[in-house]
Chain A
Amino acid sequence: MRTLLTILAAGSLAAHIAEDTSDLLQHVKFQSSNFENILTWDSGLDSAPDIVYSVEYKKYGEREWLAKEGCQRITRKSCNLTMETGNFMEFYYARVTALSAGGRSATKMTDRFSSLQHTTIKPPDVTCIPKVRSIQMIVHPTSTPIRAGDGHRLSLEDVFSDLFYRLELQVNHTYQMVNICASLVLPCLGNSFPCRLDLHCFK
């Protein structure tokens, strides 16, 4: 009988120790656009305001976690890991540790991250020069934070060799207006990127 009571007591103690810390930390994930890789997370609805967060990251396959300088014991809920995850052919993990003033802590890790597979592509910057009988459109190449071996920054065209642009002209005869939309299209040759990206429209 005494043994049973001991087991029950130990069980309830164990349950108490493995307490729920989801209020400290949730949704740890990368948000990436044009290869700008930002780690973001949330705290629970009723979380205390005095929680501090520390970020670590590593390449998939490596043992050691590296502390991200500038994101140790911070109170904000995001951290820019663009430089640390800059090799778009590599796979990475990041993790966040949340620590409350009362000493409670929680650590959560991202899914495996590859910017080549996960980044979303923003519409291109376009300059529009109206002429007497024509409109000149200059589509500016989109640069990325990725650096080549010689240090120069790669553009999206460097990363995606089969990328092309689509310009759409929407003429509104009633108001004598022309709506021009430029989008950036990645043929779905290989990876799983969306085939057509957001439109950038202006009058």
Chain B
Amino acid sequence: GQEFQFGPCRVEGVVLQELWEAFQAMKDIVQAKDNITSVRLLRKEVLQNVSDTESCYLIRALLKFYLNTVFKNSLDKAADSRIRKSFSTLANNFFVIASKLQPSQEKEMFSISESARRRFLLFQRAFQQLDIQAAQTKAFGEVDILLTWMEKFYQ
């Protein structure tokens, strides 16, 4: 079957198509709530030209942020049962991927992990400059940007 290969980090057992279908089911509703069209959290500087080795550090930081900050207490706001099901699919799969990622902590990897951390901080700072509700909605609506980037590492 297919798996994610973020450099040395491999994640099996996740079907990317299911994540896409889960997001597509709620995309229009979530993106319509984001009326700040002049701000994009997952900008080019965050995701472009990420090396394979760096990708493991970056995806782990992003998924943990989504789980702990974006998805957190969003479930109870998802009144529509269809969205709740899609939301759970996304959150559960993000949890599975994040928990299987074990980036190397060796010293010689410090510069690479630092580069990934700087990218993540660009995303986090943009998030923190918005009102929390608007930021959660925007980050939620950008899951397709995240999935498109993750797809490059799905083989």
Residues of A within 8 A of B (CB): 58, 60-63, 89, 91, 93, 109, 111-112, 114, 116-117, 188-192
Q: A-B pairs with CB below 8 Å: how many?
A: 43
The interface residues of chain B lying within 8 Å CB-to-CB of A93 are: 37
The reply to whether A60 and B37 form a contact with Cβ atoms under 8 Å apart is yes
Interface SS of chain B? helix
A-B contact pairs, 26 of them (CB 8 A): A60-B40, A61-B37, A61-B38, A61-B40, A61-B43, A89-B148, A93-B37, A109-B37, A111-B31, A111-B32, A112-B31, A112-B34, A112-B37, A114-B144, A117-B144, A188-B17, A189-B2, A189-B154, A190-B16, A190-B17, A190-B151, A191-B20, A191-B148, A191-B151, A192-B21, A192-B24
Interface residue B28 (Cβ < 8 Å from any Cβ of A): yes
- Beta-carbon contact of B32 and A58 below 8 Å: no
The residue that B28 contacts in the complex, of A111, A114, A189, A190, with Cβ under 8 A, is A111
How near does chain B come to A105, taking the closest CB pair, in angstroms? 19
The reply to whether the CB of B145 lies closer than 8 angstroms to some CB of chain A is yes
Q: How far is the CA of A117 from the CA of B145 in the complex (A)?
A: 11
* Interface contacts beyond A189-B154, A190-B17, A190-B151: sample of 16 additional A-B pairs, CB < 8 Å, sorted by A: A60-B40, A61-B39, A61-B40, A61-B43, A62-B38, A89-B148, A91-B40, A91-B145, A93-B37, A109-B37, A112-B37, A114-B144, A188-B17, A190-B154, A191-B148, A192-B21
3 closest residue pairs by CB, A with B? A61-B40, A63-B38, A192-B24
In angstroms, Cα B145 to Cα A158, docked, is 21
**Chain A: CB-nearest residue to B31:** A112
Collect the chain B residues with CB atoms within 8 Å of residue A63's CB. Answer: 38
Interfacial chain A residues near B2, Cβ < 8 Å: 189
User: How far is B40's CA from A89's CA once the two chains are assembled, in angstroms?
Assistant: 14
